[in-house]
Structures are given as C-alpha cells and as structure tokens.
Structure 1
Amino acid sequence: MIKSNALLLVALLPVLSLFAQDAPKPAVSAFQKNFPAATKAKWEKEKNDYEVIFNYEAKEMSAVFTKSGQFLEKEEVITAQQLPAKVSAYLKQHYNNAVIKETAKITKADGSIQYEAEVNKKDLIFNGEGELVK
C-alpha cells in the first residue's frame, strides 16, 4: 500500500507543481488544457500576465496567459538555422559578426507568427514574413 501511494505521489508531482506556483487558477487550468503533456512548468509574473516556461513534445517553450486564463501567445525555442531566410539575411547584414544568443518562434493567440532573435543583448522581433517590427 505504501509503495502504491508513493508511486501515485511521484506520478502526480508534475501536476501538483503546476498548482504550487504563484499563478491564478484560471491561468493554470488554461495552460493544462492547452498543453496537457507539459513537464517542468515554472510560472513567472510578466507585467499584468503570467508566463509559464515548460517542456512540451521534446521542445523548450513558454506561454503567456492572462489572470483570467486567456491564452495570449506561445514561444518555441528554435535554432538560428530555423529562422526564415529573410530574417537570417537581415541579421547577417546588420549584425554580421555578432553572436545570436537565442532564437524563437512566437505564435500569437490569433495564429499570427513572429520570430525573435537576441543579438547584442537586444531582442529583435520580426513578423511572419521576416520583416523587422521591433
């Protein structure tokens, strides 16, 4: 009996850890609905919203939810080689010798896509067509 209770506790730890964070229940519930197989979830407050960093389908990701549980966006870590050609060309032209520290694909709640590249401690944001927006 003790072994089965211990196994149950170990199996529930990832789920229980989601509730142990400082995120409102509606945000946590929405996260679990959108990413049911997520592991290693860690919540952070992001201005008025809540960001959860996690692993999902062997990928490092994050997602942002409002206090009421509305999904705003998800961000998937990608390699620099996975950036669109137009983004890579811009980075090569304007930051030729710089190291690209992080790259990500951002999918907004409306389905629109953005790409992010961290270069020289700056986050550069590109739209889905590869044009610089920020």
Structure 2
Amino acid sequence: MKLSTSFGLLLFFVASACAQKNIPNAVKAAFAEKFPGATSIKWEKEDGEFEAEFKWQQSEYSANYSMDGKWMETEKSIDKKDLPEAVTATLADQFKDYKIKEANLLSNPEMEVAYEVELKSGLKTIEVLLDASGKVIKKEKEEQDGEEEDDDDGGE
C-alpha cells in the first residue's frame, strides 16, 4: 500500500514538473506582461487552457490563458468583508442558511467585474457567481459527494 501511494505521489510531482516546463512562450509572455513581478507561480493545464496560481501585489490570484496566450480570466482571492454590499445583501436574502467559505473577484474580457462566492451549509457546498449589483449570474451546486450540477437560471 505504501509503495503504491509513494509511486502515485512521485507521478504527481513529475507531472507537475513537466507542466511547469511545457508552458508555451506566448502564454508566459502574456502572463509576464499582465502580472509583472508575480511570485510563487504554479502552472497547470486544465480543459485546454493554462492556469497559473500565483501571488501578486500581496494577494493570491489565478489566471487562465488560451494555448496561444490570450488572457481568458483572472480570479483574485478576497476577504468576505470586501464583497460589495449588494452582493452580501443577495447572499443574506437568497442563501440565508449558508455561510461564506471563500470569495473571489473575477474579471475577464467579456464582462465587468463579478464575484464568485463559495457557500457552505452543513455538508452542502454551493458556488454562486454574482455581478457587482448582486444579481446571481450562475449557481453551481456541489452535492455532498463532490459532484457539481449547474443551475444557470440566474437564481430565479
């Protein structure tokens, strides 16, 4: 059992090291231009995109890029007290049985700023995407076993 666990960990680290080395130059250049001075950068390839998790300007971020280096999205970890009042009002009204577990500020080329909030109630966890006015854009339910289910009805 220990041997298979050790082998699994070894494969994970080798795969991670390879992922760090196989980042296209266009992706690295676009990232360096958008986030100069970023530190603790960890890359992974996910769903045909490259995602970097890193620290920049004293905050934790993740950024996604297409294979050709086009910026797709950025997430910045924020404290729940930094959520806009309209967002916290919607959460208190529509998700009163849930507590905020994690909050992120999202930006991408197609939209203004949005907020991704992970909420927890007992064993249930949901992820809600809201605009700055507090309107629910998308809701993902994570069942107790970790499976996700999309609900794009805008919370209506």
Equivalent in the alignment of 2:128: 124
For 1:29-108, list aligned pairs within 5 A: 29-108=29-108
How many correspondences in the alignment?
117
The amino acid of 1:70's aligned partner reads: K
Equivalent in the alignment of 2:153: none
- Cα deviations by residue, 1:30-57 (Å, 9 ceiling, x for unpaired): 1111111000001122212111110001
The amino acid of 2:130's aligned partner reads: F
Change (3 A) 1:57 1:80: same
The amino acid of 2:78's aligned partner reads: I
After superposition, the CA RMSD in angstroms is: 1.9
Unaligned runs of 5+ in 2: 1-16, 139-156
Query: Among the aligned pairs, what percent are the same residue?
Result: 29
Task: Give 1:109 shift.
Answer: 2.4
Tell whether the 8 Å contact from 1:22 to 1:44 is kept in structure 2 after alignment: no
| Higher strand residue share | 2
Unaligned runs of 5+ in 1: 1-16
Q: Distance in 2 between matches of 1:67 and 1:78?
A: 28
